[in-house]
């Protein structure tokens, strides 16, 4: 792991995400900013596994990574040896990371003098390794500040509440924060008897070990939760580390365009401004066959222009492609309603598996985003000023959807059919029309304000820029 002489003279930071595009993307962006804007040398430490993820490979092997950002792969983990079929995402991430970091201490020693290590929320065992090496370790929280405040409160909730949180008669009141309805709680805390919950509680109870916490957010987006974490006596009492809002950190570029990507963007160029609904449910999300059919019929009935990113439906898990995003090859005609493509050819484009999301969202013809409410996708939509239809699938996405629709006012939440989790085609038709045809007033005004605020906070002298710059200066000294 030799580094060039001019790089060895620069202050050196190591950054380590857990697997999955939603974790790698923002940590890679902060790595780039440290290298390009603050003159650091960064070692980006990757948990390698024997599962194929084309999306991850494209990010980490991009020719546009700046000099001074070195990608360092840990020895490959045999996922099939350490996980079991059906293991939920957080438990699976945690056991993979636990196996991967066995050689991490010697890797960090070999990298030379490290000023700081930055990890994400599923890597908290690294705090112990950094403690042994006397290296300050920081947490990068890849989700909302709302989820962070809940996670910091979770050990208290665990001690004080008996039974399941989802059975509570009242919303969960995190000190100083908007209340959370039990049905909106993240999947990882819905069954306290399983390993998924125990792992999430384990990591949450260790966040205070960080020298600081990076937030992929900023004050205008989440004012109440940011105020709570910095001012409420509860968070002071549990020794919450200093927080550093550095967001929105989003993917700035796409991998080289495929022929399908180019066709999709060329079609978008011919559409009127704000007229196209972009339907994409994230790098890891899938729908059941029944729900997929209702979504497709709803889009057709709405008569709105659309780009529909389709992934083979599965009845097994909403997060079925979390670990191998961008790797599935499928033929949409095998599961779209018969004749769908022919009937909608004049006003819609069907894209198998993957689309250049950043380029679609920033395009002036895109007028709405049908999203699974992953935090990275939300930040991309806000940064590019696109109102949303909130369609949560797993993890903390229900909480995000409620915040977007009810607190921030930049999304519409479709209603499921009574007594069911299924969203029918008539409701899909209604929200698709609403966001494109009627979402031009308050919702579009609010998202434009946040778009401008997001741009300002990341510029020199903006609050998020300054937050990272101050810490960079501290590391250098």
DSSP 174-207: -TTS--B-GGGS-GGGS-TTSHHHHHHHHHHTTG
* Percentage above 90 pLDDT, the chain: 84
The better pLDDT of the pair 7, 258 is held by 258
CA angle 256, 44, 325 (to 5 degrees): 45
Q: Are 205 and 100 in contact (CB under 8 A)?
A: no
Is residue 321 pLDDT above 60, yes or no?
no
DSSP string, 238-301: TTPPPEEE---------SSPPHHHHHHHHHHHTSPTT-EEEEE-TTT----HHHHHHHHHHHHH
Q: Which helix (H) or strand (E) holds 306?
A: strand 305-310
Nearest C-alpha neighbor of 179 from the set 388, 394, 411, 406: 406
DSSP string, 405-423: IIII--EE-PPPPTTSSPP
Distances from the Cα of 25 to the Cαs of 142, 272, 322, in angstroms?
9, 31, 14
pLDDT confidence band for 317 (50 / 70 / 90) = low
Residue 239 falls in the annotated catalytic set = no
Q: Which helix (H) or strand (E) holds 107?
A: helix 104-111
Residue 423 CA, chain-centre distance (Å), reads: 23
Average pLDDT value for residue range 63-68: 92
Average pLDDT value for residue range 187-206: 97
Domain at 259-440: CATH code:
3.40.50.2000
Q: Are 34 and 40 in contact (CB under 8 A)?
A: yes
Is residue 90 pLDDT above 70, yes or no?
yes
Average pLDDT value for residue range 313-341: 71
Is residue 9 pLDDT above 90, yes or no?
no
Residue 23 falls in the annotated catalytic set = yes
Q: Which helix (H) or strand (E) holds 141?
A: strand 137-141
pLDDT confidence band for 286 (50 / 70 / 90) = confident
Average pLDDT value for residue range 325-333: 64
* Percentage above 70 pLDDT, the chain: 95
Is residue 285 pLDDT above 90, yes or no?
no
pLDDT of residue 7: 64
pLDDT of residue 6: 61
Is residue 467 pLDDT above 70, yes or no?
yes
pLDDT tens-digit series, residues 99-111: 999 999 999 999 9
pLDDT of residue 261: 92
The better pLDDT of the pair 280, 3 is held by 280
The better pLDDT of the pair 258, 70 is held by 70
pLDDT tens-digit series, residues 384-438: 999 999 999 999 999 999 999 999 999 999 999 998 999 999 999 999 999 998 7
Average pLDDT value for residue range 66-95: 95
Interatomic CA distance for residues 125 and 393, integer angstroms: 28
Is residue 379 pLDDT above 90, yes or no?
yes
Residue ranges per domain, the chain? 5-249+459-476, 259-440
pLDDT confidence band for 69 (50 / 70 / 90) = very high
Residue 80, classed as helix, strand or coil, is helix
**Active-site residue identified among 23, 41, 372, 384:** 23
Interatomic CA distance for residues 59 and 47, integer angstroms: 14
Residues 328-337: contacts with CB within 8 Å, 24+ apart?
Answer: 328/353, 329/353, 335/289, 335/292, 335/310, 336/296, 336/310, 337/293, 337/296, 337/297, 337/300
Q: Are 61 and 88 in contact (CB under 8 A)?
A: no
Interatomic CA distance for residues 16 and 350, integer angstroms: 35
pLDDT of residue 5: 52
Q: Which residues are within 8 A (CB) of 231 and not within 5 positions of it... i.e. 6 or more apart? A: 176
pLDDT of residue 289: 93
pLDDT of residue 130: 98
CA angle 157, 158, 164 (to 5 degrees): 95
Shared fold status for 5-249+459-476 and 259-440: yes
Does domain 5-249+459-476 correspond to CATH entry 3.40.50.2000? Answer: yes
Residues in the chain, overall count: 477
Is residue 324 pLDDT above 60, yes or no?
no
Interatomic CA distance for residues 18 and 48, integer angstroms: 10
How do 116-120 and 243-245 pair as beta strands? unpaired
Nearest C-alpha neighbor of 370 from the set 354, 379, 381, 362: 381
Is residue 188 pLDDT above 70, yes or no?
yes
Nearest C-alpha neighbor of 209 from the set 288, 155, 144, 169: 155
Is residue 362 pLDDT above 80, yes or no?
yes
Interatomic CA distance for residues 154 and 180, integer angstroms: 13
Is residue 343 pLDDT above 60, yes or no?
yes
Interatomic CA distance for residues 229 and 209, integer angstroms: 16
Average pLDDT value for residue range 293-309: 97
Q: Are 22 and 375 in contact (CB under 8 A)?
A: yes
Interatomic CA distance for residues 38 and 210, integer angstroms: 22
pLDDT of residue 224: 97
Interatomic CA distance for residues 82 and 347, integer angstroms: 47
Average pLDDT value for residue range 74-78: 97
pLDDT of residue 2: 46
User: For the chain, what is the mean pLDDT?
Assistant: 93
Interatomic CA distance for residues 251 and 82, integer angstroms: 31
Nearest C-alpha neighbor of 21 from the set 352, 411, 267, 372: 372
pLDDT of residue 284: 67
pLDDT confidence band for 315 (50 / 70 / 90) = confident
Is residue 330 pLDDT above 80, yes or no?
no
Nearest C-alpha neighbor of 401 from the set 431, 435, 373: 373
**Active-site residue identified among 12, 38, 70, 120:** 120
Interatomic CA distance for residues 22 and 335, integer angstroms: 27
Q: Sign (positive/negative) of CA torsion 430, 276, 287, 83?
A: negative
């Amino acid at each position: 792991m030799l580094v060039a002489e001019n790089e060895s003279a620069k202050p050196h930071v190591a950054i380590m995400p857990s697997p999955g595009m939603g974790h790698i993307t923002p940590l890679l962006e902060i790595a780039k900013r440290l290298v390009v804007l603050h003159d650091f040398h960064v070692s980006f430490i990757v948990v390698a596994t024997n599962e194929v993820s084309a999306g991850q490979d494209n990010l980490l092997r991009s020719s546009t990574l700046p000099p001074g950002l070195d990608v360092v792969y840990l020895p490959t983990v045999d996922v099939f040896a350490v996980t079991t079929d059906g293991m939920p995402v957080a438990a699976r991430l945690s056991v993979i990371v636990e196996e991967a970091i066995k050689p991490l201490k010697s890797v960090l020693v070999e990298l030379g003098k490290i000023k700081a290590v930055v990890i994400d929320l599923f890597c908290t065992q690294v705090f112990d390794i950094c403690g042994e090496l006397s290296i300050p370790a920081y947490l990068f929280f890849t989700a909302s500040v709302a989820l962070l405040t809940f996670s910091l409160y979770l050990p208290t909730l665990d001690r004080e509440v008996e039974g399941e949180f989802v059975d509570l008669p009242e919303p969960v009141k995190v000190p100083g924060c908007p209340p959370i309805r039990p049905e909106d709680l993240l999947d990882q805390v819905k069954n306290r008897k399983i390993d998924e919950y125990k792992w999430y509680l384990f990591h949450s109870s260790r966040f205070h070990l960080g020298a600081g916490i990076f937030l992929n957010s900023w004050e205008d987006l989440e004012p109440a939760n940011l105020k709570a974490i910095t001012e409420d006596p509860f968070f002071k009492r549990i020794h919450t580390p200093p927080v550093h809002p550095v967001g929105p950190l989003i993917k700035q570029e796409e991998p080289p365009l495929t022929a399908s990507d180019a066709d999709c963007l060329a079609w978008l160029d011919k559409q009127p401004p704000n007229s196209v609904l972009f339907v994409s449910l994230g790098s890891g999300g899938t729908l059941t066959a029944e729900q997929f059919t209702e979504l497709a019929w709803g889009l057709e009935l709405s008569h709105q222009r659309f780009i529909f990113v389709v992934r083979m439906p599965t009845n097994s898990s909403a997060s079925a492609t979390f670990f191998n995003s961008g790797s599935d090859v499928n033929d949409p005609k095998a599961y779209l309603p018969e004749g769908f493509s022919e009937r909608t050819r004049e006003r819609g484009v069907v894209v198998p598996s993957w689309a250049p999301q950043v380029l679609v969202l920033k395009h002036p013809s895109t007028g709405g985003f049908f999203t699974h409410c992953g935090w990275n996708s939300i930040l991309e939509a806000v940064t590019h000023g696109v109102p949303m239809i909130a369609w949560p699938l797993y993890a903390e996405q229900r909480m995000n959807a409620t915040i977007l629709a009810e607190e921030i006012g930049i999304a519409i939440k479709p209603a499921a059919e009574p007594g069911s989790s299924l969203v029918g085609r008539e409701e899909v038709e209604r929200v698709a029309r609403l966001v494109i045809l009627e979402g031009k007033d308050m919702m579009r005004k609010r998202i434009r304000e946040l778009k401008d605020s997001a741009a300002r906070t990341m510029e020199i002298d903006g609050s998020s820029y300054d937050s990272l710059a101050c810490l960079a200066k501290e590391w250098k000294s």
